[in-house]
């Protein structure tokens, strides 16, 4: 029993490391793209239909890639940057790139929900496009942004479990190598339970934060 706790504990830390850093990097990559998609939309504050279509197609292509295939395709990049394509740290790169298009769409959708009347009022007061974005649109859309980030984290937990099947480490690796392949049902069940608890906990925290933000308006 103590061995199971040690294995699950180590794998949980690896999963948390993967999810934390991939969430951070996917936000760095996806947030600006989402803002740009919102701005350049035909109904956005600075329409650029051609640029919007190009960005939209790129995001759609990356989103449609199955994660397992994308991770294999990105093995050379992980090896180039870190010297290895196996392990927790190496997995963060494909996880981040896989989640970035999802983040971009989440941000675009969240910003699009802001009342156009507020934008018009800000423009009437002489605000520039970027002032409208970071002083009006993003603050107003923040609850939706947090909700989207929560969903991104939950998706990344699922991605990290899949990454474990091809050498990524974490709870997915534990469930496959120690649980399934060694016929240790108890280990597999323990890994699945921890994943479920992580998802529920993150969803709870995200919901509480969103509700607090909405209650202050």
Distance separating alpha carbons of residues 134 and 38, to the nearest angstrom: 13
Residue 64's pLDDT is 83
Cα distances from 184 to residues 1, 61, 68, 70, 149, in angstroms, run 12, 39, 25, 30, 34
Do residues 161 and 195 touch, judged by C-beta distance below 8 A? yes
List the chain pLDDT tens, one digit each, 217 residues: 567 778 888 888 889 999 999 999 999 999 999 999 999 988 888 888 899 999 999 999 888 888 778 888 888 888 888 877 777 888 888 889 989 999 999 999 999 888 878 888 888 887 788 888 888 888 888 999 999 999 999 999 988 888 776 667 788 888 887 777 777 788 888 888 999 999 999 999 999 999 988 887 6
SS (HEC) of 39-84: HHCCCCCCCCHHHHHHHHHHHHHHHHCCHHHHHHHCHHHHHHHHCC
Residue 2's pLDDT is 67
Residue 150's pLDDT is 94
Q: pTM of this prediction?
A: 0.88
């Amino acid at each position: 029993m103590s061995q199971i706790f040690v294995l699950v504990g180590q794998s949980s830390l690896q999963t948390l490391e993967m999810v934390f850093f991939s969430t951070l990097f996917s936000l760095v990559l996806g947030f600006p793209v989402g803002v740009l998609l919102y701005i350049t939309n035909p109904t956005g504050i600075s329409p650029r239909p051609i640029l919007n279509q190009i960005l939209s197609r790129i995001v759609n292509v990356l989103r449609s890639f199955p994660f397992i295939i994308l991770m294999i395709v990105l093995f050379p990049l992980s090896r180039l940057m870190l010297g290895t394509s196996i392990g927790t740290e190496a997995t963060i790169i494909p996880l981040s790139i896989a989640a970035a298009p999802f983040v971009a769409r989440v941000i675009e959708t969240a910003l699009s929900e802001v009342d156009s009347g507020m934008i018009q009022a800000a423009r009437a007061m002489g605000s520039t496009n970027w002032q409208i974005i970071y002083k009006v649109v993003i603050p107003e859309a923040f609850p939706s942004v947090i909700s989207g980030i929560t969903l991104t984290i939950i998706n990344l937990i699922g991605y990290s479990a899949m990454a474990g099947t091809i050498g990524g480490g974490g709870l997915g690796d534990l469930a496959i190598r120690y649980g399934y392949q060694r016929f240790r049902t108890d280990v597999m069940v323990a890994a699945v339970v921890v994943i479920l608890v992580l998802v529920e906990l993150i969803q709870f925290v995200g919901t509480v934060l969103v509700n607090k933000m909405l209650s202050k308006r």
